[in-house]
Structures are given as structure tokens and as C-alpha cells.
Amino acid sequence: MIRELSPAPRPRNNSTSLRRAICILLKLGEEIDGTGYPLTGLAEKVGLNKSTLLRLLQPLLEARLVEQLPSGNYRLGRRNAQLGNAYLAGLDLPRSMHDVLQELASRTRETVHLVVADFPSIVYIHKVETAHPVRMFSRIGNSAPAYCTSVGKAMLAHASPETVDLVIENGMPAHTPRTITTAGELRAALSEIRESGYAVDDVEHEEGIRCVAAPVFDQSGACTTALSVSAPVDRLPRAKVPELAPLVTAAAREISTRLGAVL
């Protein structure tokens, strides 16, 4: 009697574990005060039970992508700085355009940011700090939602309808009482931005902070970069925006020209 052989077991697909590990890293990247997340709190945020989370954290701890503090909390590990620096080292934009950003910061006496699109978010890749003692808290490598930031809206105004839909479908929760939270309001705002050439975060993302941004275009005419000036509302009242906007748009045009854009 010939016994039929059972089919060989398929190799285990670890893509689910990988996605979960990436989700953990991204969630830890949202923590900004350095205190980290306790195991229970992190489990709730990523939607995993504690035993599964501990299993996924182990290789991240070994690779120093995650570290455990004396408090027991978890936060991003030092290896992320190495990866981030390697990425930024290959990105010539911050270095080659620093003089333009520095000049804008000097003329406005406020903080200047350079960002790139990672829709539905944006990522800060360069910053020139103000000399004022009261400053906007931001860090290179941090991300923020595109729909409620001036830089995000500046880029979305020149993005494809599919990209705008992606941002809307990802959700538009309120960060402040002034945040745009509906698709109709956002699309109307983007239309106005295309007309004016600049975008305003009118205390929509962070309480007490107003920002003015302009889009940067590359040789192909695409807009995946933007720059902004940010300041506390007492130093940047709404009435000052029309005065600041030409400086911001001029800096964005200079960088666009250097990138080979035909304006």
C-alpha cells in the first residue's frame, strides 16, 4: 500500500509581524516628550495584546530601534538617529537650500521649516530656529497631518485629486477649535491657496501657533516640498500674514528655480 505524502507546509508569512513592528515604531515616533509609553498604553495604541507586543518588541530592542527606560516605558532607540541621519545625508535639499531658509529666518525673525510630503502626513527635514526666547516646539524627522498644517495644505493645493482623497479618507480630527474637519472646507481652502500662492495654518494644528507656507516645485513641476514661517500668534497676528506671505513665496520660488522648475 502506497501512502500519500502530505504536502509540505508553506513557509510562514511574517509580513503581518513586520507590519505590526513598523506600526510600533511609527507610534513610538509620535511620542515627543521623551518619556515613552508604558507597555499597557502602547498595547492600546497599536491594538495588540501585551504578550504579542512584548514578542514584537524584543527584536526591536536588540536592534536598538526601541529602548526601555528605567521607568519601564518604551521609546524610540538610538539606532533611529543613525537611520535618519543616513537618509538626510542623501537628501541634498536641506544643505543646498540652507542659505535661502537662513535669509528668510533673518528677515522674518521667526522659525523657518522645510518639509517633504509623506501623505497623508508631512515630515520636517530642516529647521532654522528663531532667536526669540519663545519658540515653536518641533523636531527634524517629526511628522504632522497634511490637512491642518500650512505646509501640508500648500502641497495638497497642487496634488492630484486622488492624493487629496487619500488625506480626507485617512480622517480629519480636530487638533484645535479652528481645525478644518470636513472635505468641503478643505477643498475650498485648497482652491484659495492655488489662487493666492500661499497657505496659512490659522491656529489649526497647534494652539497659539500661526504659520504661513508656500509650495516648492521641482523640474517636473511636481510639488512634494514646502517651506513655512511659524510663530506664536502674538508675534504673528492675522493682520501680519499679507506682509509675511511675499517673503515666504519669494523664498519658495528661489528654491524652485534652483531645482529647475519653470515658474
pLDDT at 231: 94
| Contact indicator for 234, 246 with CB cutoff of 8 Å | no
Question: What's the pLDDT score for residue 72?
Answer: 94
pLDDT of 14: 58
What pLDDT score was predicted for residue 83?
82
At 137 the pLDDT is 58
- Please check whether residue 214 lies inside any domain of the structure: yes
- If asked whether residues 108 and 235 sit together in one domain, one would say yes
* pLDDT given for residue 94 in this prediction: 63
Domain residues for the domain of 182 are: 91-258
Please work out, in degrees rounded to the nearest 5, the angle formed at the alpha carbon of residue 159 by the alpha carbons of 161 and 223: 170
CATH of the domain at 21: 1.10.10.10
Name the packing angle between helices 15-29 and 39-46 (round to 10°).
120
Is 132 a member of any domain?
yes
Q: Is residue 7 domain-resident?
A: no
Please state whether beta strands 143-145 and 199-202 pair in parallel, antiparallel, or not at all (unpaired): unpaired
Dig out the grid coordinates for 255 from the structure. Answer: 528654491
Last residue of a domain, one of 81, 108, 128: 81
Residue 9 inside a domain? The answer is no
Same domain assignment for residues 75 and 119: no
* Residue 202 domain flag: yes
* DSSP single-letter state for residue 3: P
User: How is 151-173 classified by DSSP, letter by letter?
Assistant: HHHHHHTTS-HHHHHHHHHT---
Same domain assignment for residues 146 and 220: yes
Beta strands 209-216 and 225-232 are antiparallel
| Same structural domain, 51 and 132 | no
Comparing CA positions, the residue from 150, 153, 140, 156 lying closest to residue 230 is 150
pLDDT of residue 90: 61
Is the same domain home to 119 and 239? yes
Q: What is the CATH number of the domain that holds 253?
A: 3.30.450.40
Q: Residue 159 and residue 143: Cα distance in Å, rounded?
A: 18
Residue 98 domain flag: yes
Residues 77 and 146 reside in one and the same domain: no
Name the domain count of the chain: 2
Q: How far apart are CA 42 and CA 53, in angstroms?
A: 8
Looking at the DSSP bridge assignments, the partners of residue 37 are 74
pLDDT of residue 253: 97
- Do 114 and 235 share a structural domain? yes
- Written as tens digits, the pLDDT of the chain (263 aa) is 334 444 444 444 558 889 999 999 988 987 767 789 999 999 999 999 999 999 999 999 999 999 999 999 999 998 887 787 676 556 556 677 889 999 999 999 999 999 999 999 999 999 998 766 545 556 788 889 999 999 999 999 999 999 999 999 999 999 999 999 999 999 999 999 999 999 999 999 999 999 999 999 988 899 999 999 999 999 999 999 999 999 999 999 999 998 888 87
- At 258 the pLDDT is 85
Report if residue 263 sits inside a domain: no
Q: In the listed set 81, 99, 131, which residue is the last one of a domain according to the structure?
A: 81
